[in-house]
């Protein structure tokens, strides 16, 4: 589903990524683990079209999206959840979720997808009218994930995906592997969550302890 080939990214004269290559298969859960400053967030921004690479290619669903702007990447089905959640604090939980379904291709399945994410994160249904800024950190993370999943996502790229989440809630993310949604997550430390028997996620889960700035190959 996703293939990155020899990706180089610079900030001025400072090289943030050096020859990064990785692959994410459909339905897989893949983690990139590294220290602060290793280039994990830069990699996510490059995949989402928010940071221009100097060299290398990003292939998503057999399409070269290396030079695409972020809105085109998003419309193709690559969703991003940035570190720090970035919910709209003055809008209600329900209004934040509505924003996630604004893409034209997402509107037809808005009701079905909303029901699905509220089953994953039932506390959001209870907080529907509450301003997002008054939620706890873990609840805001749930909202950010749910908002991203309301779009027509084939790949969800998440910076620190389980940050602030209880282990039982973090485990619910593996349900996505049954919906052909792949997850690429980053973090300083990640624990592989338990999986439901027969989910197929065990065979498709992978992780790497690597420094993205020096290049990493994942499978």
User: What domains, with CATH codes, occur in the chain?
Assistant: 2-77+154-214 (3.40.50.300)
Does the pLDDT value for residue 199 go beyond 50? Answer: no
pTM of the model: 0.76
Average pLDDT, the chain: 79
Give the position of tokens 């943030």. Answer: 16
Give residue 178's pLDDT: 53
Rounded average pLDDT over 111-126: 89
Helices and strands: H and E segment counts in the chain: 9, 9
Cα distances from 24 to residues 41, 106, 109, 156, 183, in angstroms, run 17, 23, 25, 11, 8
Give residue 218's pLDDT: 36
Q: Which residue has the higher pLDDT, 32 or 202?
A: 32
Does the pLDDT value for residue 151 go beyond 90? Answer: no
């Amino acid at each position: 589903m996703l293939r990155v080939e020899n990706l180089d990214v610079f900030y001025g004269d400072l090289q943030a990524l050096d020859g990064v290559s990785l692959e994410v298969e459909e339905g897989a859960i893949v983690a990139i683990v590294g220290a602060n400053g290793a280039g994990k967030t830069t990699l996510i921004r490059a995949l989402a079209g928010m940071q221009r690479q100097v060299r290398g290619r990003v292939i998503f669903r057999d399409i070269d999206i290396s030079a695409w702007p972020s809105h085109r990447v998003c419309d193709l089905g690559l969703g991003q959840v940035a570190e720090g959640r970035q919910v709209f604090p003055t809008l209600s939980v329900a209004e934040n979720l509505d924003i996630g379904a604004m893409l034209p291709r997402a509107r037809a399945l808005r009701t079905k997808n909303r029901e699905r994410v509220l089953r994953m994160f039932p506390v959001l249904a209870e907080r529907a009218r509450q301003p997002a800024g008054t939620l706890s950190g873990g609840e805001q993370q749930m909202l950010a994930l749910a908002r991203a999943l309301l779009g027509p996502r084939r790949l969800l790229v998440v910076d620190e995906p389980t940050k602030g989440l209880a282990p039982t809630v973090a485990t619910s993310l593996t349900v996505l592997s049954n919906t052909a949604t792949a997850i690429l997550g980053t973090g300083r430390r990640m624990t592989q969550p338990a999986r439901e028997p027969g989910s197929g996620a065990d065979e498709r889960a992978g992780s790497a302890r690597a420094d993205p700035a020096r290049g990493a190959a994942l499978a």
